[in-house]
Structure 1
Amino acid sequence: MILVYTVLLALPIGLLVHRRPTAILTYLAVGSWIFTFQSTSLVLSWLAHEGRSAFGPFPSAFPAVHDSVELYGYAAVNLVIVAVGVGLVVLGGRLRTRRARKSSAAAPGEAVAVG
């Protein structure tokens, strides 16, 4: 879910929101809600024994023993996805700025100083 959100909406957020800090905060705020929903969905499907599990086999005893590699791997993958998303937001802002400069520099009917 967070990957789809990043691929589809990070660049448009950067293009549409004019201030870079606001654009990044918008991306992170919406992304945090999606991340929470994604994590809850994965845990609930794991508890219901649905499909292939993201967290390994269901524990059969208490206290549950888990493999910390899976936990850190999940966190690392999501951290990389968020970093790429922030990069796409920044790229969108730069593209918007470049477009605005080109359109203002070459506006029809205006004198352009070459120089």
Structure 2
Amino acid sequence: MELILMVLTAFPLGYFIRSRTAALVAYIAMHSFVFSFQNTALLMEWLGGDYSAFPKDATSPPWSYLLINVAIYAAGLGLVLLGGKARAKVSAKRARNAVDIAG
């Protein structure tokens, strides 16, 4: 779920929201909701006997789950910033190619 959110929303948020801070906060808010929902769903499956996401031993930390989620989160934040840079580049190009019709 997090990966789908990252692919579909991170770059457009950075591109269409002018404020970098607002774009990052929007992505963080959306990601936290999806992460919470995903984590709850995986925990419910783990309690039902599916050990594909979390280890069978409840005292063992799920390091692989942590690393994958951190990588997805960091990539999403990077895509938000990349979207902002792409918007700035397009805006600068438009400003250079603008024709002054007043003078």
TM class, shorter-length: 0.7 to 0.9
Are positions 1:97 and 2:88 aligned together? yes
Aligned residue in 1 for 2:100: 110
Aligned partner of 1:61 in structure 2 is: none
Equivalent residues in 2 for 1:1-115, closer than 5 Å:
1-49=1-49, 53-57=52-56, 65-68=58-61, 71-107=62-98, 109-110=99-100
TM-score under structure 2 length normalisation:
0.87
Deviations 1:34-79 (A, max 9, x none): 00000000011122235x631133xxxxxx64322xx122112111
Q: Aligned AA for 2:100?
A: E
Any gaps of 5 or more consecutive residues in structure 1?
A: 58-63
- Distance verdict in 2 for CA 1:84–1:65, change over 3 Å: closer
Aligned residue number for residue 60 of structure 1: none
**1:93 partner letter:** G
Larger Rg: 1
Alpha-carbon distance in 1 for matches of 2:69, 2:47: 21
User: How many residues in Structure 1 have an aligned counterpart in Structure 2?
Assistant: 101
Confirm or deny: 8 A CA contact 2:54 2:65 kept in the other structure: no
Contact 2:46–2:53 (Cα < 8 Å) also in 1: yes
TM-score (norm: length of structure 1): 0.79
Report the residue type matching 1:29 in the other structure.
A
CA RMSD of aligned residues (A): 1.8
Q: Which has the higher helix share?
A: 2
For residues 74-112 of structure 1, the C-alpha deviation after alignment (integer angstroms, 9 at most, x for no partner) is: 1121111111111100000000011111112212x428x
Give % identity: 36
